[in-house]
Chain A
C-alpha cells in the first residue's frame, strides 16, 4: 500500500512538473479563467448598482416634457447617451446592443388639461431581450407613478415596501466569481485531464509505462492528483485576485470554502477521466470536452438565469454538475453557508463523482 501511494505521488509530481513547465497549458488552464474574472470583475465592480442605457427621445414642445426629460437625467439607474439621437439612430443602436431601451415622449406629451400635464410615454425595447425590456419598463413605471403622485398630490391607497431577507447580500461580483471559479475547475477537467490521457496514449507513453509494474489505479490516481493540484492552484489565484483587486468579502469560512472546492475539483476531474476513457483519440476527447463544457455553461445558469427556466427544468438543471458548484461557491462567499447547509449540493457532487469515476475506470485502456 505504501509503495502504491509513493508511486502515485511520484507520478503526480512528474505530471505536475510537466504541465506547469508547458506555457500553453498554463495559459489555457490558468490564464483564461483569471482573465475572464478580471475583465468581468472590472466591468461589474463590486457594487450592486445596475445601469440601464436608455435613449430619451423628446418630441414634445411642452415645458413639462422638458422637465420630465431633465428629471430622468438625475435617475441613477438610467444612463443616457452623451449625444442627442433621433429615433432611427436610437433604434439602430438598440439593435447593435448599445442601448437597453428607448423612451419616447410624443408630440402631445405634457399637454395641460385642467391644469395638469397629461400624456403617455412609450417605452421601446429589443424583442430579442425581453428581460431587459421588462426591467426598463418597470423602472419607467416607478418613475411615472412618482410623477403622478407629485402632479395630483394624492396619496396611493395601497403601497409596497421592499425588504431583503438574509444575513448578507450576494453581489453581482459574487455571482461572477462563483461562475468563473466553477468554470476554471471544469476546464481543468474537460480540457486538462481529458486531453492529456488520450495524448499520452497516442504518443505511446502509456504503452511504455504498461510494461512496468505500474497499475492503472496508480496511473489514474497520480494523474488526478496532479491536475487536482493545478485546479486548486487556479482557484487559489482567482480567489486571491478577487480578494485583493475586487475586495471580495468571504462571508463563509475559508476551510469550508477549501473543502467544498476539493470536492468540486474531484468531481470535475472525474469528467475528464470519463471523457478520456470514452474517447478513442485526442480529437474525439477535444470534441466531447467542448460539448460537455458548453452544455454545462448553458444549463448551470451561466448564460441564462435558471430562475427564468420552467420549474421542471430548474429542478433538472440543479442536478447538472456545474450548478451545485456555482451555487455552493456563491452561498459560501455571499451568504456564509456551511458544509451542512450545502447538503443538497454536496449530494449531487458526490453522486456525479461516483458515476464518473466508476465509468472512467471501467472503460480505461492502456492503448
Chain B
C-alpha cells in the first residue's frame, strides 16, 4: 500500500497534512499518536469512508479515490465502535457479510478462530467488550482480505483481553494478511508492530520500527532513569487473576 501526500481538510483546518508512507505486504504497521492526531481520519480515507482532499492512496494496485469498489473487495475493516445489527445472531451476521462479498462463509470456523464458538447464537449486544472486539475482527476477515484495518482495537479492554487480541493479531499477520492498526497505547505499538508511524497534529513526525526509533533516541543521548524491574503492575494483575480470557 502506498500513501502519498494524503490530505484532509475541514474548512480552514487541515486534519491530515500531506501524509506519506508505504506498508509492506505481511507486516503489522502501526499509526501511533494522541487523540486528535489524525490517525482515524487517515485510516478512514484509505478505507474509502472519507473523500480524499489531496494526494493519493494506492492499495493492491487500485486507486482508493477512483476505484473504491475494488478496494472494498480486498480490505477488512474493524472500526472504532464496530457496531452491528442488534437482535441478529453472530453467525447470521457473518453469513450476511459473506453474501455481501459474494463468498461462502464457514461461520463456525471463523468464530472458532476468534474463540467465540459458543456464542454463535448470541446477539452482539450481549457480548462483553473483548468478545465484541474479537467478533468485529472475525467479521473483518469474512472476505479473506489482503489488508486488515484495525482502529484502536484494544481500547477499553482489560489486560487479559488485550493480550489475547494481540495474539490474534499476530496470528492474522502470520496467515499473510497485512495489518494496519491505529493506537494510542505505546506498549501496544512497541510489542505488536513491525513498523510504526508516529502522528502529531495531522503529520507523521517519525516512521520506523519501534526498535530503531528507540535506538535512534538513545543515540541522541537520551537516558531514562529507571529502576529495573522484572515485573510491573499489569503482570501482578494477570498473575493474580489468570491469563485466561475473562469473558
CB within 8 Å of B: which residues of A?
Answer: 3, 6-7, 10-11, 14-15, 17-19, 21-22, 200, 203-205, 207-214, 218, 367
B47 contacts A211, C-beta separation under 8 Å: yes
Does B79 touch A at the CB level, under 8 Å? yes
Q: Is the CB of B87 within 8 A of A212?
A: no
Q: When the two chains form their complex, are residues A17 and B88 in contact, meaning their CB atoms are under 8 A apart?
A: yes
Check B100 for interface membership: any CB of A closer than 8 A. Answer: yes
The CA-CA distance from A213 to B85 in the complex, in Å, is 17
Known: A10-B99, A10-B100, A14-B96. A211 touches B87 (CB 8 A): no
Stretch at the interface among B20-28, B53-61, B69-77, B214-222: B69-77
Pair A212/B97 contact, Cβ less than 8 Å: yes
Are A204 and B49 neighbours in the complex by a CB distance under 8 Å?
Answer: no
Give me 17 A-to-B residue pairs in the complex whose CB atoms sit less than 8 angstroms apart, sorted by A's number: A6-B99, A10-B99, A10-B100, A11-B96, A14-B92, A15-B85, A17-B88, A22-B86, A203-B81, A204-B81, A207-B79, A208-B77, A210-B48, A211-B72, A213-B69, A213-B102, A214-B100
Whether A208 contacts B99 by the Cβ 8 Å rule is: no
Q: A10-B100, A205-B84 are in contact. Are A212 and B79 (CB under 8 A)?
A: no
Closest to A17 in B: B88
Assembled-state Cα–Cα distance A203/B80 (Å):
12
CA distance A17 to B86 in the complex (A): 10
Identify which of A14, A22, A218, A367 gathers the most chain B CB atoms within 10 Å of its CB: A14
- CB of B83 closer than 8 Å to a CB of A: yes
Which residue of the partner chain B has the closest CB to A219? B100
Are the CB atoms of A18 and B88 closer together than 8 Å? yes
Cα separation A6 to B93 with both chains bound (whole Å): 15
Indicate if B41 sits at the interface (CB-CB under 8 A).
no
Verify A213–B101 contact, CB threshold 8 A. Answer: yes
- Check if A212 sits within 8 Å of B81, measured CB to CB: no
Q: List the A side residues contacting B48 at CB < 8 Å.
A: 210-211
A residues within 8 A CB of B88?
14, 17-18
Taking CB as reference atom, which chain A residue is nearest B136? A208
At the interface, yes or no: B113 with Cβ under 8 Å from chain A? no
A208-B72 contact given A3-B102, A14-B92, A213-B101, CB 8 Å threshold:
no
Bound: A214/B102 CA distance, A: 10
Residue of A nearest to B78 (CB): A208
Chain A residues with Cβ below 8 Å from B92 are: 14, 17
CA distance in complex: A6, B101 (Å): 11
Contact between chains at A18 and B100 (CB < 8 Å):
no
Chain A residue numbers with a CB within 8 Å of B77 are 208, 211
Contact among B82, B86, B100 with A213 in the assembled complex (CB-CB below 8 Å): B100
CB distance from B222 to the nearest CB of A (A): 40
Partner of A18, one of B49, B79, B86, B102: B86
Q: Given A14-B88, A211-B72, A213-B72 in contact, is the A7-B83 Cβ separation under 8 Å?
A: no
CA–CA, A21 and B82, complex, Å: 22
Give chain B's interface residue range (CB within 8 Å of chain A).
20 to 34
- In the assembled complex, which residues on chain B have CB atoms less than 8 Å from the CB atom of A207? 49, 79
Residue of B nearest to A215 (CB): B69
Kindly identify, within residues 3 to 62 of chain B, every residue whose CB is under 8 Å from any CB belonging to chain A: 47-49
Q: Which residues of A contact B84 (CB under 8 A)?
A: 205, 208
Determine whether the beta carbon of B49 is less than 8 Å from that of A210: yes
In the complex, are the beta carbons of B100 and A208 less than 8 A apart? no
State the CA gap A10–B104 with chains docked (Å).
13
Q: How far is the CB of A222 from chain B (nearest CB, A)?
A: 10
Closest to A199 in B: B86
Return B101 CB to nearest CB of chain A, in Å.
Answer: 6
Beyond the given pairs A3-B102, A18-B86, A213-B69, 11 more chain A to chain B contacts, judged by CB atoms under 8 angstroms and listed by A's residue number, are A11-B100, A17-B88, A17-B92, A203-B81, A204-B82, A208-B79, A208-B82, A211-B49, A212-B97, A212-B101, A212-B143
Query: Min CB distance, B191 to chain A, in Å?
Result: 27
Closest Cβ of chain A to B127, distance in Å, is 15
The answer for the CA separation of A218 and B69 in the assembled complex, in Å, is: 14
Task: Find chain B residues with CB under 8 A from A18 CB.
Answer: 85-88
Complex interface: chain B residues within 8 A of A212 (CB): 72, 97, 100-101, 143
The smallest beta-carbon distance between B62 and chain A, in angstroms, is 13
Segment 85-121 of B: residues with Cβ below 8 Å from A? 85-88, 92-93, 95-97, 99-102
- Tell me if B96 and A10 are in contact (CB < 8 A): yes
Q: Are the C-beta atoms of A22 and B72 separated by less than 8 Å?
A: no
- Cβ of B179 to closest chain A Cβ, rounded Å: 16
CB-CB under 8 A from A218, the residues of chain B are 100
Those 9 A-B pairs whose CB atoms lie nearest each other, nearest first: A10-B99, A21-B87, A211-B77, A204-B83, A18-B87, A203-B83, A205-B83, A212-B100, A214-B100
Q: How distant is the Cα of A200 from the Cα of B82 in the complex, in angstroms?
A: 12
The residue in B47, B81, B83 that gathers the most chain A C-beta atoms within 10 A of its C-beta is B83
Complex CA distance for A19 and B85, rounded to whole angstroms: 10
Return the contact of A208 from the options B83, B95, B101, B143 (Cβ within 8 A): B83
Return the chain B residue nearest A366 by Cβ. Answer: B49
Q: How far is the CA of A128 from the CA of B81 in the complex (A)?
A: 56
Minimum CB–CB distance for B149 against chain A, Å: 8
Per-residue 0/1 for B135-153: is the Cβ within 8 Å of any A Cβ (1 yes, 0 no)?
Answer: 0000000010000000000
Nearest chain A residue, comparing its CB with the CB of B48: A211
Instruction: Say whether, besides A14-B85, A14-B92, A22-B87, A213 and B73 are in contact (CB < 8 Å).
Output: yes
On chain A, the residues within 8 Å of B85 by CB distance are 14-15, 18, 200, 205
